[in-house]
């Protein structure tokens, strides 16, 4: 039995399988099996009212999970699926509360990773699959990250290489007349607006959006080691102060540094947003527990950095100006 057949057998038995997607690795269970979905929450330590995204093979399965689907949703699915876009729609009555967090909506996405796509086509149904990590921790972008996180607690990890996007999907709500950007991600806001022909309302919390969706909590995507964002001059001053107090400091910067504080460890990061996003979670995982604090130069506040800035805002413990 090959890994794909093994994965399908486990999923049909109500077990969990970690799967690669183009965004991050997901912890998958049969979305039509509430007992299987409950295992996701138990393993992740995820609050039971926090909804999951259902992964499907493509647009042909939209009507299996959603009702009253607006034309805008079908246009976006045709434009960006398979790909890193999640649509929030009104749910079919049969969709389990365990997937939706008890809401009247469901999040749907068709991943572009060839291994995940093949799995979904052969499985035939939907897979609930949040990121394959402990709740609130840094998302995994390799199979080894998942093994490091769960060990033998996850029955199977399908290895599809490193996730090429590196941050989670963009989430757009289409449950009322006004399309809403709930989470920036792998599809740029401007690209979505170009297809819709209108502006997205951007909501950065569950409270303002009045809908619960993945990744909208104030603290999320966080390493165990404190992460501090700021301007490079402020971080260099902070590094000097911390090192004088005996702390182990790592400076993560995009701008070249002429003079480092004596003895400081540092790493220069990618200058472009796509490369930065692809490496971000692996970087945070690699340096977690190796230092007392991670000091990261904040990226620019420009559209191409929207998803990265969203993740860093939720991962950071402080910001220095």
CATH number, domain at 47? 3.90.870.10
Three-state SS at 315:
helix
Mean pLDDT over 85-102 rounds to 97
pLDDT at 225 over 80: yes
pLDDT in tens, 162-180: 999 999 999 999 999 999 9
Please report whether residue 268 resides in a domain. Answer: yes
pLDDT at 286 over 80: yes
* CA distance linking residue 38 with residue 43, whole number of Å: 9
Same domain, 182 and 58: yes
pTM for the whole structure: 0.95
Same domain, 79 and 150: yes
Q: What CATH number did the domain enclosing 238 receive?
A: 3.40.50.11030
Same domain, 192 and 231: no
- The tokens describing 2, both together, are 């090959």
Same domain, 238 and 269: yes
Domain that holds residue 280: 227-320
Q: What is the pLDDT of residue 214?
A: 79
Same domain, 51 and 131: yes
Contact 149, 47 (CB under 8 A): no
* CA distance linking residue 143 with residue 141, whole number of Å: 7
Q: Where are the beta strands (DSSP E) in the chain?
A: 17-19, 26-30, 53-55, 66-67, 85-91, 105-109, 127-128, 170-173, 180-183, 201-202, 227-230, 249-253, 265-268, 293-297, 318-320
* CA distance linking residue 88 with residue 206, whole number of Å: 13
Same domain, 40 and 172: yes
Q: What is the pLDDT of residue 48?
A: 86
How many domains does the structure of the chain reveal? 2
Please report whether residue 217 resides in a domain. Answer: no
Q: What is the pLDDT of residue 306?
A: 97
Same domain, 183 and 57: yes
Which of the four pLDDT bands, split at 50, 70 and 90, describes residue 108? very high
């Amino acid at each position: 039995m090959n890994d794909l057949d093994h994965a399908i057998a486990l999923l049909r038995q109500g077990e969990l399988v970690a799967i690669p997607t183009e965004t991050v690795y997901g912890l998958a269970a049969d979305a039509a099996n509430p007992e299987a979905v409950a295992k996701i929450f138990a393993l992740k330590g995820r609050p039971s009212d926090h909804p999951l995204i259902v992964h499907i093979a493509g647009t042909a399965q939209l009507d299996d999970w959603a009702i009253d689907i607006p034309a805008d949703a079908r246009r976006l699915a045709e434009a960006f699926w398979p790909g890193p876009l999640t649509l929030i729609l009104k749910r079919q009555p049969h969709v389990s509360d365990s997937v939706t967090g008890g809401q009247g909506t469901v999040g749907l996405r068709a991943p572009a990773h060839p291994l995940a796509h093949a799995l979904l086509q052969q499985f035939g149904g939907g897979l609930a699959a949040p990121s394959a990590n402990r709740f609130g921790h840094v998302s995994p972008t390799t199979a080894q990250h998942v093994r490091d996180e769960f060990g033998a607690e996850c029955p199977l990890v399908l290895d599809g290489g490193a996730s090429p996007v590196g941050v989670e999907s963009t989430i757009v709500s289409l449950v009322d007349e006004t399309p809403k950007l709930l989470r920036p991600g792998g599809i740029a806001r401007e690209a979505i607006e170009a297809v819709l022909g209108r502006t997205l309302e951007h909501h950065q919390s569950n409270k303002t959006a009045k809908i619960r969706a993945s990744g909208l909590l104030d603290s999320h995507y966080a390493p165990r080691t404190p992460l501090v964002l700021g301007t490079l001059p402020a971080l260099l001053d902070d590094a000097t102060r911390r090192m004088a107090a005996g702390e182990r400091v790592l400076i993560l910067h995009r701008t070249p540094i002429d003079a480092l504080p004596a003895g400081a460890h540092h790493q220069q990061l990618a200058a472009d947003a796509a490369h930065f996003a692809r490496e971000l979670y692996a970087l945070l995982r690699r340096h977690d527990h190796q230092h007392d604090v991670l000091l990261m130069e904040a990226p620019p506040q420009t559209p191409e950095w929207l998803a990265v800035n969203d993740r860093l805002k939720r991962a950071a413990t402080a910001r220095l100006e």
